[in-house]
Amino acid sequence: MKRRNFIKNTALSSLVAAVGTDIVFGSLLPEGYELLALQDPDPFALFSKDKEMVVLNDKPWNIEARAHLLDDKITPNKFMFIRNNGLIPEDIDAGNWTLTIDGEAAEETKTYTLSELKSNFKTYTYQLTLECGGNGRSEFDPPAKGNQWTVGAVSCAEWTGVRLKDVLEDTGYTNKAVYIGYHAADVHLSRDPEKEPISRGAPMAKALQDETLLAFQMNGKDIPLAHGYPLRLVAGGWPASVSGKWIQRISIRDRVHDGTKMTGDAYRVPCNPVAPGEKVKEEDMCIIESMPVKSLITYPKSGAMIKSGQKLNIRGHAWAGELEVSKMEYSIDFGSTWLSCQVERPKNRLAWQHFNASVSFPKKGYYEVWARATDARGNSQPMLLPGWNPKGYLNNACHRIAIKVT
């Protein structure tokens, strides 16, 4: 018997510990064999997520929150959605992590270690709303392919890092600069090292905003692995796909960045409205920039029961891409009449805003509470579905909860 083909005692004892009981024929296990019992990791434990989070896909991992889980003013990790296009990078060595700035419009190619970024540039902290462009996709008809997000692909955490603009200015760029494009360490589903799962970016004007960060902390701690440890681009108010995780390189481009998922119909909508199901030519699709006005009732949970005569305090958050939310209303009569909610100013630009209202119901029975936000330019959320688009982006319909008064 060739002993080296079989598992070593130390490896066996750690497998026994992981399984939690004796592995009876353990000494006969071939080396490198993965036990069935350990093949299906518990995603909630793996990513420190709450058990009420909903797994939409495991290859790649896509996990969303539910409305009532997003009640915190600042989203904690356990309720933050995960959206991956590829495989989470393994064996990250933050001590040797570097960020390279290059591109046709960069003055030079310059590489920074993580500690250089932290010590050479001033650090800022902002609360930034990140919503997946496909949040709400599940409601479109005809349906759109992709993760069937309901309402939970949005978060507003507190991000700490350096301003991208300070780093871009340190490297220097020419007047040919048009766009930035990120390159990250995650792995394509095919495991082909030549392919990138995603490489998106934003126009220079967005890259140079004060709130656009190269972040190394989320909610005061190292960024959790699934959310981009050890370095992430955070560009609040735009589709969260712009906020590249596990960032290694940023190119200052002399054209609109043409990386993976920047072209074709990815993160694009018809420049002009189309009929549901209509085919749209590539040249008639426009890149999504600022996200539309939207809101979420986070308390109570849909289905709540209250006693007749009681008032119901509702609360939630509202956001409007680059703009501020200027008005927040609710309706208990399917949108016929609207009453106003109190809405707070944002903590900083691009942070979501908190609203609340005390709701009275005229008599016993079934009700729905609908919430509607209006942005500073007067755009309101559509009551039901907004314009259909082939990939099911930008569903900012009013959020609704069911209430029974008994």
Ligand X SMILES: Nc1nc2c(c(=O)[nH]1)N[C@H]1C(S)=C(S)[C@@H](COP(=O)(O)O)O[C@H]1N2
Choice between 138 and 241, CB closer to Mo ion: 241
Does 240 contact ligand X by CB under 6 A? yes
Among 26, 182, 135, 91, smallest CA distance to 393 is for 135
Residue closer to ligand X (CB basis): 29 or 225: 225
Taking CB under 6 A as the binding criterion, the range among 7-15, 81-89, 351-359, 368-376 that sits at the site for ligand X is: 81-89
84 binds, among Mo ion, ligand X, none (CB under 5 to 8 A by kind): ligand X
Q: How far is the CB of 111 from ligand X (least distance, A)?
A: 19
Task: Specify the DSSP class assigned to residue 257.
Answer: -
In the shown chain, the binding pattern of residues 121 to 140 toward ligand X, with x for contact by CB under 6 A and - for none, equals ---------x-x--------
- Interface with ligand X, residue 186, by CB under 6 A: yes
Backbone dihedral angles phi then psi of residue 13, each to the nearest 5 degrees: -65, -30
Give the residue from 381, 377, 372, 391 showing the smallest Cα distance to 274: 391
Beta carbon of residue 313, minimum distance to ligand X (angstroms, whole number): 29
**All residues at 6 or more sequence positions from 39 whose CB lies less than 8 Å from its CB, including other chains:** none
- For the bound state, the minimum distance from the C-beta of residue 130 to ligand X, rounded and expressed in Å, comes to 6
Hey, is 262 helix, strand or coil?
coil
Distance, in Å, from the CA atom of 187 to the CA atom of 184, rounded to the nearest integer, reads 9
Q: Residue 132 CB, nearest distance to Mo ion (Å)? A: 3
* Binder among 241, 260, 298, 396 for ligand X (CB under 6 A): 241
Q: Among residues 47, 246, 319, 352, which is the contact residue for ligand X, using CB under 6 A?
A: 246
Nearest approach in angstroms of CB 328 to ligand X is 25
Residues interacting with Mo ion, by CB under 5 A?
A: 83, 132, 241
Neighbouring CB atoms inside 10 A of 316's CB total 27
Residue 216 as a binder of ligand X (CB under 6 A): the answer is no
Amino acid at 218: M
Which stretch in 3-11, 74-82, 118-126, 187-195 sits in contact with ligand X by CB under 6 A? 74-82
Binding segment toward ligand X, per CB under 6 A, in 77-85, 102-110, 208-216, 323-331: 77-85
Closest to ligand X by CB, 71 vs 186, is 186
Burial group, residue 216, by CB count within 10 angstroms (0-12, 13-18, 19+): buried
> In this structure, which amino acid lies at residue 80?
M
Instruction: Report the run of H or E that residue 15 belongs to, with start and end.
Output: helix 9-19
Of positions 227, 249, 317, 327, contacts ligand X by CB under 6 A:
227
C-alpha separations of 292 from 320, 349, 374, 378 in Å:
5, 15, 10, 12
Q: Which of 75, 243, 331, 389 binds ligand X (CB under 6 A)?
A: 243
- Alpha carbon distance 310, 307 (integer Å): 6
Beta bridge partner(s), residue 63: 55, 82
Would you count residue 158 as binding ligand X (CB under 6 A)?
A: no
> Using CB distances below 5 to 8 A depending on partner kind, what does residue 85 bind out of ligand X, Mo ion, none?
ligand X
Q: Which of residues 21-60 bind ligand X (CB under 6 A)?
A: none
| Phi, psi angle pair for 30, to nearest 5° | -65, 150
Q: Which residues 6+ apart lie within 8 Å of 166 measured at CB?
A: 121, 122
Residues whose CB is less than 8 angstroms from the CB of residue 194 and which lie 6 or more positions away in sequence, other chains included: none
82 part of the interface to ligand X, by CB under 6 A: yes
Return the structure tokens found at 106: 């960069």
> For residue 20, how far is the Cα from the chain centroid?
35
Q: Which does 86 bind (CB under 5 to 8 A by kind): ligand X, Mo ion, none?
A: ligand X
From 49, 68, 83, 354, residue interacting with ligand X (rule: CB under 6 A):
83
**61 forms part of the interface with ligand X (CB under 6 A):** no
398 lies in the site for ligand X, by CB under 6 A: no
Q: How far is CA 242 from the centre of its chain?
A: 10
319 binds ligand X, rule: CB under 6 A: no
User: Which residues here bind ligand X, judged by CB under 6 A?
Assistant: 80-86, 130, 132, 155, 184, 186, 197-198, 227, 240-241, 243-246
